[in-house]
């Protein structure tokens, strides 16, 4: 499984955000939704070897974490409004249980943040996308159980950055230009897909 942990510094845990103005009312949940889209979806389908966690650090009930499991997920559509509607429903029905509670169609919510995610991860090799670090193309990658930590449009807060460093995450850069988080995920997936293709060719 290739797993992605997307951390939204201000992304809201409150389902009252407006679908008509996501950027202004949801703490830029739109940034995270685009990451979900790129991490999970390919042309006409889902990546069944992918799993996404969203860590929501904004809003009244923060932190909360959402998990979408590509192995079993359904109804994940590519447009932002559909994805936002999905997250709205998940947040509205979430309980205060600290672990991940399955809600529907491969989606779960936990009343916890990065710690709840790390407890859920089990065995993994951590990587973190960071600008001006080691070039992804030059870096060995664990293709079996990698976990990629990705920041939102304002990057990681210091606490999150420290926590990821404690995990021993290898920093990777996707290229010389600062691109949006979801574009970085597209570039990362492309490198993984190429290595998968090479290893399946033997």
Interaction between residue 175 and a copy of itself (CB under 8 A): yes
Interaction between residue 202 and a copy of itself (CB under 8 A): no
Residues 134-173 that bind a copy of itself (CB under 8 A): 153
- DSSP assignment of 63-85: -EEEEEETTT-----SSHHHHHH
Name which position in 5, 32, 41, 91 contacts a copy of itself (CB under 8 A): 41
Name which position in 34, 64, 67, 88 contacts a copy of itself (CB under 8 A): 34
Q: Give dist(CA 134, CA 108) in Å, integer.
A: 33
189-192 contacts: CB < 8 A, separation 24 or more? 189/38, 189/39, 189/47, 191/136, 191/137, 191/141, 192/2, 192/141, 192/143, 192/146
Name which position in 78, 121, 167, 171 contacts a copy of itself (CB under 8 A): 78
Interaction between residue 80 and a copy of itself (CB under 8 A): yes
Give least dist CB 80 to a copy of itself, A. Answer: 4
The residues of the shown chain that bind a copy of itself, judged by CB under 8 A, are 19-23, 30-31, 34, 37-38, 41-44, 77-82, 153, 174-180, 182-183, 186-187, 189-190, 193-194, 196-197
């Amino acid at each position: 499984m290739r797993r992605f942990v997307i951390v939204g510094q201000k992304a809201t845990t409150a389902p009252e955000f407006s679908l008509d103005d996501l950027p202004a009312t949801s703490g830029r949940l739109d940034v995270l939704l685009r990451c979900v889209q790129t991490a999970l979806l390919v042309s006409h389908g889902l990546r069944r070897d992918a799993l996404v966690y969203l860590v929501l650090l904004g809003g009244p009930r923060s932190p909360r974490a959402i998990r979408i499991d590509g192995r079993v997920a359904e109804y994940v559509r590519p447009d932002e409004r559909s994805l936002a509607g999905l997250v709205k429903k998940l947040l509205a029905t979430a309980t205060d249980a600290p672990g991940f509670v399955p809600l529907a169609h491969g989606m779960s919510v936990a009343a916890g943040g990065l710690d709840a995610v790390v407890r859920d991860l089990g065995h993994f090799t951590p990587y973190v996308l960071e600008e001006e670090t080691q070039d992804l193309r030059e870096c060995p990658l664990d293709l079996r159980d990698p976990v990629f930590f990705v920041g939102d449009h304002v990057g990681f807060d210091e606490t999150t950055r420290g926590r990821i460093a404690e995990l021993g995450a290898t920093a990777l850069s996707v290229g010389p230009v600062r691109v949006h988080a979801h574009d970085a995920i597209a570039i990362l997936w492309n490198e993984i897909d190429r290595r998968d293709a090479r290893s399946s060719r033997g």
